[in-house]
Structure 1
């Protein structure tokens, strides 16, 4: 009887701890990044706030839905023909932010500009198969490829390929900017030009608006804890320690099953890092389970190979020789490599490690730096943009190709690996591409060109009013897919 009386009280406590908010007023979103603005792709990659603004006001041909799957954007439907070498998109009726009609010619020009020099679009290296983008009619676009690319839609869904005007700035929706402030914008659902004149169109309620705020992680956390926001997005390992120090209910903390890379790129190949054995010693020294536990056990399993799965490779993922050793054997081998190097090169061995100047960067420095010291290497911490020997890579995969992982890992890699990667890029058939990808994977594993540690840690804080939020491998959460009645 006592237990029965306690259950309702415990449920009330749980609900209270989950930070419930009434579903009234605009959805307030704190994005960890700078102020909301349109990025200049000729200068630097967009941050989370900029990417969300792009995705919300200037969608691409297709978009990601709440689960990270492809859904229509500007294109209402599409077909793939010519053995995967031609994509034909039929555009829906859409308007620019100034009310002008979006035409296929507009879209073709904008997309070609996004992937041509001098654009520094980060997706450009993975779009080299595009030969041309042409408008066939006012509503039909054809994308012609020199080689088949089955994952092209996932690239077109990225905010970096959003279709937008420069003047006035903006695109076709699904939102319009209705008001701006120093670090925020108010987004209002866009007018649907395809509706019938006879349709009864109700004015969007305030709860269908979204206020997008760009701020640092600490401010975003405080805003959420004080119930002044409904969602925090863009969280990574860099700022995760702040979550553990803040009183956020566990039910509000969500982790994405993000696919991608988290590890150390070899950016200098001299001294101790000139040999594959020396690079392997660094990989052997890192205690991955302890590093992950220092953040959260919910992060996932340690990663010891470049590819998460076979993907579009002809072979199963290659494994470096060091990864086949037991933890004790790895540490012993790493110490032996340091001792052997010192016999030929007397003196101190030091390595510069570029890590973010954030709480998460501090944890990484403590974990990795201590392990390097254990094998006899003096670690030196430097800024992310400074000259370094090792540099943190923390990136979510934009699409599911093994070549993305291998090309991202190959900051500096062997001639064999680079040759195989180039051959994979230029392969005329998917079978040949898969063979060259497998060759590149094997070469990179033997070369120890990258030191994998984990998958990317991506977190959000989500209020209970946002019932459509779902974790997904892209770690992407469109602002029009947060509430059940949003467009």
Structure 2
């Protein structure tokens, strides 16, 4: 199977993840599993650990390791796993999950097959963090993992992966890997990946975002081969500079009212879901998702209400408001800009598009949640937010019990909604191009598709 993945790096190496490059994450996930991993449906399954127990409200995790070997055949021991995990936690600058692992207190070897993880505060969602490629068990010297696949060749931007026989299954219960079981993983720019799939020179293109969506029409991709994930996460505008017109929640609410979310998502695909709430559900909050004041305005009255607030601002002696919006430099970013700019112009707000990394008043946040906690959503949306909301987010991080954590998350959600520090637009748009023969591909909220789970139809 040939997989083209959204990624601009021409060379791949097996190393801890330090960025969001999809191809590199897929390589790491394929060749170096963590204690646990995600399956094709986005569910937690055994990785290096064959089973585990969680006690004390999520403060203690005990993992029993499988009879696992490194890719070179050497046995893997608990002491090695402990040392690697400890080192990973110390390298906070290289681990994007570090802000959500601060509760980890100790990782110790109990026996050669058992390790124990102790937390200072309860974290019942820890397994989904351990399943991320960022927490894969990679040998620090030999740069190898334990599968479920191994690198058997690399030429330029193409890496050949082959399944590793499962040491926990009898030899007569499993077939030796065949050439058709190999995966060729290609890290290339999205346009090249989409073109490769359109030319039938790959079976899967994965990692598609809103930025690359217009490429599908240009390449003439069959709609039946475009698969969307019901991705959980954030897609909206963070108020990164609450000054001038954006200094007050009322005016930030006017901007939120001006954007026609239904028209925005329809401009891409009818299957993309819009969103108005910061949290997609209650998750680990003590309350349902909080509603911002602007959400109470009926849809038919929103544009007029926004226009009235802008007129009041100008009538008070201020210049017509101008906002700088940082969006990705891509075809999808341009399409998104056209829709947002038209809506803002219609209510008297002059938008200016700036580069993704330039100084801006609003910045697009487009991220899939690695785990299901309100704290992740609130932390990403607060860029910045009110002092009260920031304190509530910190209180959730430090909460000594699940009940106190849930109350703090609910309080932070309410304060962020009242402050209108973030303008939700939709759920993240994540998509893949999937050849018909890959019948095991499954859409999931993590928008994550392990290569060993989509190689071929087992029937």
Matches within 5 A, 1:462-477: 462-477=434-449
CA distance in 1, matches of 2:12, 2:308: 52
1:118 positional shift? 4.3
> Does the CA contact (< 8 Å) of 2:437 and 2:456 recur in 1?
no
Indicate the residue corresponding to 1:284 in structure 2.
257
After superposition, the C-alpha distances for 1:384-432 in whole angstroms (9 at most, x for unaligned) are: 1111111111111111111111111111101111111111111111111
Indicate the residue corresponding to 1:77 in structure 2.
51
> Does the CA contact (< 8 Å) of 1:33 and 1:214 recur in 2?
yes
CA distance in 2, matches of 1:120, 1:284: 38
1:39 positional shift? 7.4
Aligned CA distance change for structure 1 residues 201 and 253 (closer, same or farther; 3 Å)? closer
> Does the CA contact (< 8 Å) of 1:39 and 1:45 recur in 2?
no
Q: Which has the larger displacement, 407-416 or 103-112?
A: 103-112
Partner of residue 53 from structure 1, selected from 19, 24, 27: 27
1:277 positional shift? 1.2
> Does the CA contact (< 8 Å) of 2:85 and 2:137 recur in 1?
yes
> Does the CA contact (< 8 Å) of 1:261 and 1:396 recur in 2?
yes
Equivalent position SS for 2:219: coil
1:272 positional shift? 1.1
Are 1:358 and 2:368 matched, yes or no? no
1:199 positional shift? 4.9
> Does the CA contact (< 8 Å) of 1:36 and 1:49 recur in 2?
no
CA distance in 1, matches of 2:119, 2:160: 39
> Does the CA contact (< 8 Å) of 1:36 and 1:50 recur in 2?
no
Are 1:176 and 2:154 matched, yes or no? no
Partner of residue 355 from structure 2, selected from 383, 403, 413: 383
Equivalent position SS for 2:99: helix
CA distance in 2, matches of 1:55, 1:244: 31
1:485 positional shift? 6.5
1:479 positional shift? 0.4
Are 1:157 and 2:131 matched, yes or no? yes
Aligned CA distance change for structure 1 residues 397 and 200 (closer, same or farther; 3 Å)? closer
1:176 positional shift? 0.9
1:152 positional shift? 0.8
Query: Unmatched 5+ residue regions in structure 2?
Result: none
Are 1:123 and 2:97 matched, yes or no? yes
1:111 positional shift? 1.5
Equivalent position SS for 1:136: strand
Are 1:210 and 2:209 matched, yes or no? no
Are 1:64 and 2:44 matched, yes or no? no
Are 1:268 and 2:244 matched, yes or no? no
Matches within 5 A, 1:170-249: 170-194=144-168, 199=172, 202-249=175-222
CA distance in 1, matches of 2:37, 2:317: 55
CA distance in 2, matches of 1:270, 1:276: 11
CA distance in 1, matches of 2:245, 2:59: 46
CA distance in 1, matches of 2:293, 2:184: 51
Aligned CA distance change for structure 1 residues 484 and 231 (closer, same or farther; 3 Å)? closer
CA distance in 1, matches of 2:183, 2:147: 13
CA distance in 1, matches of 2:174, 2:245: 68
Q: Which has the larger displacement, 400-409 or 56-65?
A: 400-409
Q: How many residue pairs end up in the alignment?
A: 457
Query: Unmatched 5+ residue regions in structure 1?
Result: 1-26
Are 1:396 and 2:368 matched, yes or no? yes
Matches within 5 A, 1:438-449: 438-449=410-421
